[in-house]
Amino acid sequence: MDWERAFDGALSYDDFLDRYGSEAERAKWRRVHDRVALTGPQRELIGGFVRRMPVLCLAGTWCGDCVTQGPILDHIARANPRSIGLRFLDRDALPELSDALRINGGRRVPTVVFLSEDFFEVCRFGDRTLSRYRALAASQLGLTCPTGLVPPAEAELATATAEWVEQFERAQLILRLSGRLREKHGD
């Protein structure tokens, strides 16, 4: 996979919503975005990232899980724009990439790919956070497709935010501890 080409062709959070989202979909994303809040310790942690980390998110503006998680990702990236470059790709616009990122055989979104500064894949994470799966399992077992019409409860949103911060921290630590990058940067 040519991750650099994929990243260069991807869109910022706002541009992604403008290009692919209807007004109703953008309103759902805005409602969640307005409710996401990083804690002081989370901001401090993210602010301490030093390795450049391009991050690609395969998403759909129509996707209920993306409605919740996309705004969280945007808040995390905005907490350290010098180290985190977040870009979005529409799942349906790039079927070959969507196929390459299948989870359990399906084109699940959101799926996030963390990259090194020179565009090697570091790790992937998607489609739902553990807290979301736990909430779904508690309420029902079987197929579900959240619509994004009902925003997540405050506690669930805070937990999902914490889980995503941990994923960003994990990727940053992989980059910081990489022998190849430590040699390159002399640290």
3-class secondary structure, 80: coil
User: Which tens digit of pLDDT belongs to each residue from 48-89?
Assistant: 999 999 999 999 999 999 999 999 999 999 999 999 999 999
- The whole-angstrom separation of Cα 55 and Cα 118 is 12
Looking at the DSSP assignment, which residues form a beta bridge with residue 55?
A: 86, 114
Return the domain boundaries, the chain: 3-185
Is domain 3-185 in CATH 3.40.30.10, yes or no? Answer: yes
- Average pLDDT in the chain: 91
pLDDT attached to residue 127: 83
User: Which tens digit of pLDDT belongs to each residue from 147-168?
Assistant: 555 566 788 899 999 999 999 9
Which two tokens mark 84? Answer: 């985190």
